[in-house]
Structure 1
Amino acid sequence: MKNQKLELTWIGKDKRPKLEARILLEDAAKSYHAPTRSEQAIFDNRLIFGDNLLALKALEQEFAGRVKCVFIDPPYNTGSAFAHYDDGLEHSIWLALMRDCLELIKRLLADDGSLWITIDDNEVHYLKVLCDEVFGRGNFVANVVWQKRTSPDNRLRLGNAHDHILVYGKQPLIHQKFNQLEIGEARKKDFKNPDNDPRGAWASTDFTGMTGHATASQFYKITAPNGKKHPPPEGRCWAISELTFEKLLQENRVWFGKDGNSRSRLKRFLSEMEGQNAWFWWGNDEVAHNQEAKKEINALFGAKNPFDTPKPERLMKRILELATNPGDLVLDSFAGSGTTGAVAHKMGRCWIMVELGEHCYTHIIPRLHKVIDGTDQGGISKVVNW
């Protein structure tokens, strides 16, 4: 097995479609903009009605290396009957279609761009290996777990409550380029000011580390105000040198507890924080759930014209907050009900969406009209002052 390259195999893997370059034609009758336009307005957003692979190939000449974030919500291949998608493709066909799609997406991504794919347990492990093959294992960033339900499924003794969001970069260490999130109200409640520090509210943080690469300078004892000496906890070391600790102590950035006897912790001031880091667990209290997504769609189109598997706007907002900045280009080649374009538009990002289903006309176009006109006040509209 040494130096042997492992790949995912399936029936017909060597068969590839011949994708000839196509020309994108504007349907001027369907192009749309707000009645009043500002000088800062962007008019290069595109909604493409057509086949996924052909559309991605057509975009390659103009947009190769320019897309900052790709989000796709492909058919989950569950075998279920969906009104808007054939979600029961035979496994090998599904893998071949995803492979061809991923290769085109990789060419469209900017060097600092990232790909986000929502998927469930049915295909996530195969998709992970496939993405490793196309993007390289070193470019895997995260498997974000999104809590899509609010309660267990009573029909099952062990019910599914989450979807996966696989995240890849075009280059390694893409996580270093992600943005921090705005500090939420729940997080702000963790900051207090028990010692009336003039710098305002703060939270104490641990500053111990693993001992694997520690030096002797990280095993000093710290003397608390009452004279008690504290070594690092057993099996741990101090994460900073003694010299650095003494400097922080002089700046009143060390906390020994109300009685001055506890093991020291560092004070982190809310006023000095630019944001907070995200992690791989996204609860539905932060980024919404399936029920909220369906309510958003029903508010736009009515319950008689639903979309089976929409994603909530708060989920897409989280992804774009981390992966993009205003003016960046976002691509979604499985546009569905148009959530990606709607949220990107409200957040000041440029967007391209591709959709072949009839809901391109029944859902996406009417939805984007409402966003552009400002009559869509659901989803994230009020949060971002749209």
Structure 2
Amino acid sequence: MIFGKSDQEILFRIRDCFPDAITETERKGEDGKPYIVYALKAEFLDEIKGLVDISDDKDRYELRFPGKRQARLQAQIPSDKTLIMERGIDSDFNETGNLFIEGDNLDVLRMLQKSYRERIKMIYIDPPYNTGNDDFIYQDDFSQSQQEYLKDIGVLDEDGVRQISEMKDKLRGRFHAGWLAMIYPRLKLARELLTDDGVIFISIDDNEQANLKLICDEIFGENNFVSNIIWQRASGGGNASDVVTGHDFILLYKKNKDLKFYGDESSRGKVMQIDEKQLRVDDDVVRKHFGRYKKGIERRCYYEELSEYKNKNQIDDIEAKINKGEYILIKQPNNKHFIGQIIEPGQRKILYSIVQNILNSQGTDELNNLGIAFSNPKPVDLIRYLINSNLPKDSLVLDFFAGSATTAHAVMQLNAEDGGNRRFIMVQLPEEIDPKKSKEAYDFCIDNLPPPPKKMGRRSGGLLFRPLPISPASVFGAPEKKSSRSIRKRVSISAFDPFAWWIRYFLETPKRLWPIPAKPIFMPIVRI
């Protein structure tokens, strides 16, 4: 097998060597309409069999699951849909290049092949963990009967593996096949979007980590596996009867492990004059190595505050590095000092196989500070850490399970701090918030967000929340009419609505210490 290559791409390669081996044939799309694809002639296979050894070993090593063939085919079906830019809010797209796409991510990944093939530098996704939680917008419980599963993958009906339906029984995963059928074609398509030196990070937990590793080995190539990063997402004890699990995994693959994805080392850190020399300094070293100095506060910890916010072991470690010259003190206008580290020429940032001091509770706190309750959002610092692992400042980042849009937040925050031009593509299903089932969320958005245009009005009894144009009027106008208490009241949004990133970025309290750019950050919206 040619790892990660689409069937049609493989045929193109065969055609280059054996033009007479390829013909055209007809397939039917999900809508039943025919389309033309290339195919291998049967007689060519007969000729090949006489020239080379063919393995017909049914006991060969590979990952198998019911419906795998149909899942593979889903990645080959061309899209019959179109991305439509929202009229009236696309004027600044050429300046920003950021996209928020509403729609099924399988359809979106198919469509992105046309314009973004081999253009994405980094992909980060946090797919459903197959935990049995039915509240997530991508149904998080893939347990089902065999008959139901066959319907979902297109064996018993014409829908194919588009969206695995919510199941009422709690049998775990139908041997995980449903989850595998969901993720397989998406990863196949995602690989084709990566640049040759691109990378993909995938968050996962114990439920599907082993299966995901096997799938990624098949799609990206076992030789392109980089690391299974352990992220300590929680600390302290718990109520587990056997072992307290306080970590998740982040699988890291390169499209081509022979190529480095690291960015220009000269673009990292801040240039400062030290001892009459222009040196590049990382002045955020304490937070990166020892965690935030105070819950909910973003700024760096001053040297003078160490005794108040760090434990004795951490302080001793920092003092030892200062005495050795590994860390330096950087004086600030208020006569206090940040702790920094000089970046030596040729030195590059590295990722560690264990990530600590970035807890999942930070992500929850970040949204709670905005008055929003969201299930298990990833902390911005975690995504910053991954993006900032020497990724060039002009990189394009994709997240096709956007959730609460932490990835977009991290990209914008890094750009605001270092003047970078990183861009993002976020993909998420639009979600209706039912005013009866999710009254708090519904009322909160009605009270605090500008009303959507008439053409984005009500549907099916609930308000279909769609992103609005980002302009000074729509961003800063509505929140000023409400008290901070109103903005910060706790609401529970069980399923993501596309305003989440908008709320996350623009409704933060005055305590936010990284600046809002003078020119509004614009993100055009396209939908299927």
Same fold (TM over 0.5): yes
Answer yes or no: is 1:150 the counterpart of 2:235.
yes
Match of 1:28, SS state, is coil
Are the aligned partners of 1:32 and 1:369 in contact in 2 as well (CA < 8 Å)? no
Distance 2:215 2:64 in 1: 9
Distance 2:230 2:322 in 1: 31
Between stretches 343-352 and 122-131, larger displacement belongs to 343-352
Answer yes or no: is 1:24 the counterpart of 2:83.
yes
Matched to 1:47, the amino acid is F
Shift in Å, 1:293: 0.8
Distance 2:510 2:201 in 1: 24
Distance 2:225 2:431 in 1: 34
Distance 1:69 1:378 in 2: 32
Answer yes or no: is 1:337 the counterpart of 2:404.
yes
Shift in Å, 1:167: 0.2
Q: Give the match for residue 299 of structure 1.
A: 369
Q: Give the match for residue 332 of structure 2.
A: none
Q: Against the structure 1 CA distance between its residues 332 and 271, is the aligned structure 2 distance closer, same or farther, given a 3 Å change threshold?
A: closer
What do the CA deviations read for 1:316-346 (whole angstroms, capped 9, x no partner)?
A: 1001001522221000000001111121122
Q: CA RMSD in A?
A: 3.3
Q: TM-score, normalised by structure 1?
A: 0.68
Distance 1:5 1:149 in 2: 40
What do the CA deviations read for 1:78-135 (whole angstroms, capped 9, x no partner)?
A: 1223243411113212112211011111100001100000000010011001000000
Shift in Å, 1:150: 2.1
Answer yes or no: is 1:44 the counterpart of 2:97.
yes
Distance 1:169 1:291 in 2: 29
Distance 1:71 1:271 in 2: 27
Matched to 1:158, the amino acid is V
Match of 1:166, SS state, is strand
Matched to 1:296, the amino acid is E
Answer yes or no: is 1:119 the counterpart of 2:119.
no
Distance 1:298 1:32 in 2: 33
Match of 1:324, SS state, is coil
Distance 1:293 1:372 in 2: 13
Distance 2:343 2:180 in 1: 49
Matched to 1:49, the amino acid is E
Q: Give the match for residue 250 of structure 2.
A: 165
Are the aligned partners of 2:359 and 2:379 in contact in 1 as well (CA < 8 Å)? yes
Q: Give the match for residue 67 of structure 1.
A: 120
User: How many residue pairs were aligned?
Assistant: 300
Q: Against the structure 1 CA distance between its residues 272 and 51, is the aligned structure 2 distance closer, same or farther, given a 3 Å change threshold?
A: closer
Q: How does 1:341-360 map to 2 (within 5 A)?
A: 341-348=408-415, 349-358=422-431
Shift in Å, 1:139: 0.3
Are the aligned partners of 1:143 and 1:167 in contact in 2 as well (CA < 8 Å)? yes
Give the alignment partner of residue 57 of structure 1, picking from 99, 107, 110. 110
Distance 1:75 1:328 in 2: 26
Distance 1:175 1:112 in 2: 6
Shift in Å, 1:372: 6.7
Distance 1:146 1:59 in 2: 30
Q: Give the match for residue 69 of structure 2.
A: 14
Distance 1:133 1:75 in 2: 20
* Unpaired runs of at least 5, structure 1: 195-200, 204-268
Give the alignment partner of residue 319 of structure 1, picking from 379, 383, 386. 386
Are the aligned partners of 1:81 and 1:88 in contact in 2 as well (CA < 8 Å)? yes
Q: TM-score, normalised by structure 2?
A: 0.51
Between stretches 169-178 and 60-69, larger displacement belongs to 169-178
Q: How does 1:1-386 map to 2 (within 5 A)?
A: 6-15=61-70, 16-17=73-74, 18-28=77-87, 42-90=95-143, 91-173=176-258, 177=262, 184-185=285-286, 189-193=319-323, 201-202=325-326, 272=344, 274=347, 276-283=349-356, 285=357, 288-300=358-370, 302-303=371-372, 306-322=373-389, 324-348=391-415, 349-358=422-431, 361=466, 365-369=498-502, 375-376=507-508, 382=513
Match of 1:69, SS state, is strand
What do the CA deviations read for 1:138-195 (whole angstroms, capped 9, x no partner)?
A: 100011100111222224331210000000000014567368886513576443557x
Distance 1:106 1:96 in 2: 16
Matched to 2:499, the amino acid is P
Are the aligned partners of 2:406 and 2:501 in contact in 1 as well (CA < 8 Å)? no
Distance 2:384 2:60 in 1: 38
Distance 1:329 1:270 in 2: 28
Are the aligned partners of 2:122 and 2:200 in contact in 1 as well (CA < 8 Å)? yes
Q: Against the structure 1 CA distance between its residues 271 and 177, is the aligned structure 2 distance closer, same or farther, given a 3 Å change threshold?
A: closer
Are the aligned partners of 1:47 and 1:353 in contact in 2 as well (CA < 8 Å)? yes
* Unpaired runs of at least 5, structure 2: 1-54, 144-175, 270-281, 290-316, 328-340, 416-421, 433-464, 467-492, 518-528
Distance 2:343 2:190 in 1: 40
